[in-house]
Structure 1
Amino acid sequence: MLRALLDAAEGADTAVLPAGARARLREDWQLLETADRVLPAGDRGNPSPPYATTPARARLLDPLVGLWVRHCLSGLGPEAGPPTERRVRELGHDLGHLGTLAAAAAARAGISFTVRLTARDGVLVLPSLGSLRTAGPGEVPVDVDCADGRLTLRQTGAAAVVVQMEDGIGAWSAAPGWTPAYALPGLLPDGPPLPLDDLDPYRTVRGDPRHHELSGPTALDETARKRWLEAWSGTADMLRLGGEHRVTEAVVLLRCLVPLAEPPRPDPDTTDTGGTGSCSGTRREAFGALFSSAPPTPATFAATIVHELQHTKLCVLSDMLDLHHAGPQRRHFAPWRPDPRPYDGLLQGVYSHLALADFFQRCALRAEHPGHRETAWSEHARYRAQVAAALPALVGSPELTAPGRRFVDQLVATHERLAEFPAPRGHTARAEASVNEARDLWTRRHGPAVRYPQE
């Protein structure tokens, strides 16, 4: 994607990308290339380690870089419209972010350099390091010098800010205008820290139709960070209760958390009775990032991770294989949503809800406290009943490809295996009644759900 961005910029009309902006992009790219040649200290005796191990690649493979690249590619494409003054200005701002990425990558690689960056709206963000609030508002030039593990940030009319690099995530400074990047401890005791990124300017999830129900990103104070840390500290144990593979999955796939503002309480007409005024989501172009409001408990956090990592996996699988040829028409009933869903959205929902049904069944079978056990059985029954109501539409679709058919068949097999350890009958009856009520409400609003001849 980065290479595609450079190629698109080189081929852009000068009316869209003036010569000065194009030249600056090349300079930033050159700094990235220089940083990419620096190997980690432990690999410098090995002439050909994997590229992903270089400090620069580790920075560029951050999930939020994908959001920024996609945004810039859209701005360079014909769909962005004519080269108005506003479009050219905004595109220049967006492409300027490559300079901050290059500076952060070069600093992590231990390279000495000097570069002039531009703060936007009075804030300069250096990804994985921190952010500087400038002395003045708007666009403010900031000269950045890096040497001996320190950054010196200079701006007109303000004292220089000296920032000391730290291992992993964050950088320290005594200057009041500096905010260090923050990370939670590793999920496992010996694991790497997990970024909790409330600084990146391209972390927003707004503007994506799939995420219209999500709140916007938020900045965290110490109290909010403590809430995240408290929930995170017990999440590994809760994941393990639902299966050791859930811990492994989170360690391998989860690479960034983006905090969202707490949304309003769910609409009383929503069909999902499990809503608690929280939200979460993923982005296809931000692999490994989880966008979420502050989880109230470790149990909620663990369930959120299970749910969202299913979306992450299925997005990647869908990029690798064509699972179906269904169009974007929103016409399918999903018990967890009040609105009609497209086929792909239904597939995503079934995959994630089936994982939650499995997760809570395992929790129920292993829980020692009776109250926790009953809660887990209730959640298991709810998710299993919801999946049962949606599976026929997936199975009966003539739009499935051969790989898609095998995938859906395995969803059915997994759902059937859950019946080996059924929930207590009261939980099952309430879950099925809730699904029937949701179906009746959906039908009154939208008409009968799609039914295929195979059903």
Structure 2
Amino acid sequence: MSPPLPNHMLRQLGRTEGDAETLRFLVRDQDTRRLLLLRALLDAAEAAPATICPPRALDRLRQDWALLEKAERADRAAVRTVLFHPLAGPWAQRCLRGLTGAISGTGLPADLDHLSALSAAAAIRGRVAFSARLTARDGLLSLPTLGALRTPPGPVDIDFSDGEATLCPPTGEPSLTVHAHRDGTTGSPDPRWLPVHALPAVLPGIGPVPLDDVDPYRIEGGGLQHHGLSAATHIDDHERKAWTESWSGVEPLLRIGGEHRLTETAVLLRCLIPLGPPPGSGPTGEGAAHCSGTRREAFGAVLSSRPATPAYFASTLVHELQHTKLAALGALVPLHHEDATPRHFAPWRSDPRPFDGLLQGAYSHIALADYWQRFALGAQRVTHRDLAWAEHARCREQVGAVLPVLAGSAALTSEGRVVVNEMITLYHRLDDCPPPTGHLARAEAYVATAKVIWQQRNGSRRQ
């Protein structure tokens, strides 16, 4: 893994900041872990009994791995784009758990088949000619990072050469040709092909951000409903235009929050996964209500319903990328040794939270408090300023309610203590520009009411 994190980087991250060098340090560590995970998957397949990984499945895995190696020799960067795609993480972990007996069920053969789709996508990106037989499921054959073919379940033969992939679906359907361009985009006049839509880069020199609504592992095993998120969704042309329009206003609004907000989006965000509108937001998702989340095993992915405005889009990225940063930091250096018992009050949740969840939530909310304060100070319109002050006051008051619990923990590691101390420093720095009195009073009442309701609901578990 990566060498120990330098102290100046740790302090940056504790303040919810991080320059490009610091963030790339986290990225390199996560990418190394992905490669080790893939190697562990292949080793587990080799070691698994034939009842779990039959000889035919093992032979296919070896062939897929050989194609990956061939493609990497041709274009290492192109192949890494596929292997480091966030949604390859949930897939690899699911396969590894199945191969080692950590989970049981009938899905392992289909999961193992997905390596064929990954290796095919890598070969296409690496411009390596090949022929293979892939397997469609749930009405789609996905080629990760590229797109998907809408087709009945069953075998799909694919031949690729000279930038063109010919796909032959099952059940006698006509074949189709997909053009694969060197920039990773794909196209076909056939409506059965669903390319991955890409949002423009937020900074020059950075690649576009895929809006991936076709990868089969975008929610697999993610427990979205458990976390209060709506289901993943496929988006039509109208929705793509709406996402693009909202995204086009994000860059200047992120910049209001400081250059570090643009930097973390440029360095950390690898794809967006569109979710359906959250409950109560109307049939088209209008209004400020939206839901979003991240998955530790899908580093670089943000799952989100479409925010109604660019301002909420920007704040969603600020919120979720803090989870990405802190999870990556926690994988690199332990921040605490608290157990996972859910017992702590968090004003942003109705259920008791484990210590790690409390730390994660406080970290993201203090970043939001900082972002909305900067937004309020820079806003030209009164309505925008009032909205920003209200959001700032609520987030700051929420963090203030839980910081004593974090600071009082005897189970923080030395690195965790640095992070919490920097969070406290940021919290007090926010006092330099307090919100208007009315916003502050409403925020205090909001948090006080949330605590009373939480105590009534959770009784003796409160802390």
The alignment's TM-score, normalised by the length of structure 2, stands at 0.88
- SS of residue paired to 1:202: coil
> For residues 307 and 184 of structure 2, what CA distance do their matches in structure 1 show?
22
- For 1:264-283, what aligned pairs fall within 5 Å after superposition? 264-265=279-280, 276-283=288-295
1:105-125 deviations in Å (ceiling 9; x for gaps): 001111111111111133211
- Residue 168 (structure 2) pairs with residue 145 (structure 1): no
Matched with 1:321 is: 333
Moved more, 200-209 or 332-341: 200-209
Matched with 1:238 is: 253
Residue identity in the other structure for 2:164: R
Deviation at 1:308, TM superposition (A): 0.3
Query: Contact 1:205 / 1:214 at 8 angstroms: preserved in 2?
Result: no
Equivalent of 2:297 in 285, 288, 293 = 285
Deviation at 1:218, TM superposition (A): 0.4
1:324-359 deviations in Å (ceiling 9; x for gaps): 111111111111111111100000000000000000
Residue identity in the other structure for 2:233: T
1:367–1:80 CA distance, 2 compared to 1 (3 A): same
> For residues 311 and 220 of structure 2, what CA distance do their matches in structure 1 show?
24
- Residue 21 (structure 2) pairs with residue 7 (structure 1): no
Deviation at 1:182, TM superposition (A): 1.1
> For residues 401 and 132 of structure 1, what CA distance do their matches in structure 2 show?
49
Matched with 2:422 is: 410
Matched with 2:442 is: 430
Equivalent of 2:89 in 41, 56, 66 = 66
Matched with 1:106 is: 123
Matched with 2:65 is: 29
Deviation at 1:287, TM superposition (A): 0.8
Matched with 2:359 is: 347
- Residue 195 (structure 2) pairs with residue 180 (structure 1): yes
Matched with 2:146 is: 129
1:12–1:449 CA distance, 2 compared to 1 (3 A): closer
Query: Contact 2:334 / 2:413 at 8 angstroms: preserved in 1?
Result: yes
Moved more, 327-336 or 180-189: 180-189
- For 1:54-453, what aligned pairs fall within 5 Å after superposition? 54-81=77-104, 87=105, 89-134=106-151, 137-138=152-153, 140-156=154-170, 157-188=172-203, 191-204=206-219, 206-208=221-223, 211-265=226-280, 276-447=288-459
Query: Contact 1:38 / 1:54 at 8 angstroms: preserved in 2?
Result: no
> For residues 79 and 284 of structure 1, what CA distance do their matches in structure 2 show?
18
1:153-193 deviations in Å (ceiling 9; x for gaps): 12351222111112334311122321122111112355321
Query: Contact 2:288 / 2:309 at 8 angstroms: preserved in 1?
Result: no
- SS of residue paired to 1:287: coil
Moved more, 308-317 or 207-216: 207-216
Deviation at 1:450, TM superposition (A): 5.4
Which fold has the larger relative contact order, with Cα–Cα distance below 8 Å and residues 6 or more apart in sequence?
Answer: 2
1:214-235 deviations in Å (ceiling 9; x for gaps): 1111000011111111110000
Deviation at 1:77, TM superposition (A): 2.1
Deviation at 1:398, TM superposition (A): 1.8
- RMSD over aligned CA atoms reads 1.7
Residue identity in the other structure for 1:147: S
Deviation at 1:442, TM superposition (A): 1.2
- SS of residue paired to 2:74: coil
Query: Contact 2:218 / 2:273 at 8 angstroms: preserved in 1?
Result: yes
Moved more, 431-440 or 396-405: 396-405
Query: Contact 1:118 / 1:124 at 8 angstroms: preserved in 2?
Result: yes
Query: Contact 1:129 / 1:171 at 8 angstroms: preserved in 2?
Result: yes
> For residues 227 and 145 of structure 1, what CA distance do their matches in structure 2 show?
35
> For residues 322 and 69 of structure 2, what CA distance do their matches in structure 1 show?
34
Aligned length: 421
Matched with 1:272 is: none
1:161–1:145 CA distance, 2 compared to 1 (3 A): same
> For residues 278 and 401 of structure 2, what CA distance do their matches in structure 1 show?
28
Deviation at 1:381, TM superposition (A): 0.7
> For residues 292 and 348 of structure 1, what CA distance do their matches in structure 2 show?
18
> For residues 124 and 188 of structure 1, what CA distance do their matches in structure 2 show?
32
Give the fraction of aligned pairs with identical amino acids, expressed as a percent: 53
Matched with 2:17 is: none
Query: Contact 1:205 / 1:216 at 8 angstroms: preserved in 2?
Result: no
> For residues 296 and 168 of structure 2, what CA distance do their matches in structure 1 show?
37
> For residues 77 and 215 of structure 1, what CA distance do their matches in structure 2 show?
31
Residue identity in the other structure for 1:423: P
Residue identity in the other structure for 2:448: N
Query: Contact 1:306 / 1:355 at 8 angstroms: preserved in 2?
Result: yes
1:36-55 deviations in Å (ceiling 9; x for gaps): 1013xxxxxxxxxxxxx521
> For residues 259 and 226 of structure 2, what CA distance do their matches in structure 1 show?
30
5+ residue gaps, structure 2: 1-36, 282-286
Query: Contact 1:257 / 1:290 at 8 angstroms: preserved in 2?
Result: yes
Query: Contact 1:211 / 1:281 at 8 angstroms: preserved in 2?
Result: no
1:211–1:195 CA distance, 2 compared to 1 (3 A): farther
> For residues 294 and 250 of structure 1, what CA distance do their matches in structure 2 show?
17
- SS of residue paired to 1:141: strand
> For residues 376 and 168 of structure 1, what CA distance do their matches in structure 2 show?
38
> For residues 155 and 333 of structure 1, what CA distance do their matches in structure 2 show?
53
Q: Which has the larger radius of gyration?
A: 1
1:205–1:310 CA distance, 2 compared to 1 (3 A): farther
